[in-house]
Amino acid sequence: MADGKKHGVKLAWGTDPLFEPELNAQQNALILALRQWFTPAEVLKMVTYDNAQLLALSGPRTPYEGKLGIVEQGALADLILVSGDPLANLDLIADPAKNFTMIMKDGVIYKGLQR
């Protein structure tokens, strides 16, 4: 990881537990382990925007049509509001039940304030 970062290699991050909610704690621990090489901002960018950019490279195989990894009108964006500053304390993402105050996917709020 450190060499890739040093040489400007585009990096993305993923794991199979992503689609198995019961393994969420394990996934979060793996994300937090990235701190040994990256700042919290770099980690968050890697697991969100950079992953979206990688997925976009799959062309016609992508399951999503539209822009990914950005927040703008017409883009496909999932949003999470965190109680606290994950740039100052990345550990906040380790306990989503406690620290994620709102979760929105495809414009639908699944947790938090309802319209």
Q: pLDDT tens digits, residue range 2-20?
A: 687 888 888 888 766 556 7
- Residue numbers of the domain that contains 55: 2-111
pLDDT-derived band at 83, boundaries 50, 70, 90: very high
- 3-state SS record for 28-97: HHHHHHHHHCCCHHHHHHHHHHHHHHHHHCCHHHCCCCCCECCCCCCCECCEEEECCCCCCCHHHHHCHH
Q: What is the mean pLDDT of residues 47-67?
A: 80
Q: What is the mean pLDDT of residues 30-40?
A: 92
Contact 48, 83 (CB under 8 A): no
Domain count within the chain: 1
Mean pLDDT, rounded, of the chain: 83
Contact 17, 27 (CB under 8 A): yes
Contact 47, 32 (CB under 8 A): no
Please say if the pLDDT value at position 82 is more than 70: yes
Residue predicted with more confidence, 65 or 81:
81
Contact 72, 93 (CB under 8 A): no
Count of C-beta atoms within a 10 Å radius of residue 92: 18
Please say if the pLDDT value at position 24 is more than 80: no
Does the pTM exceed 0.85?
no
Share of the chain above pLDDT 70, in %: 92
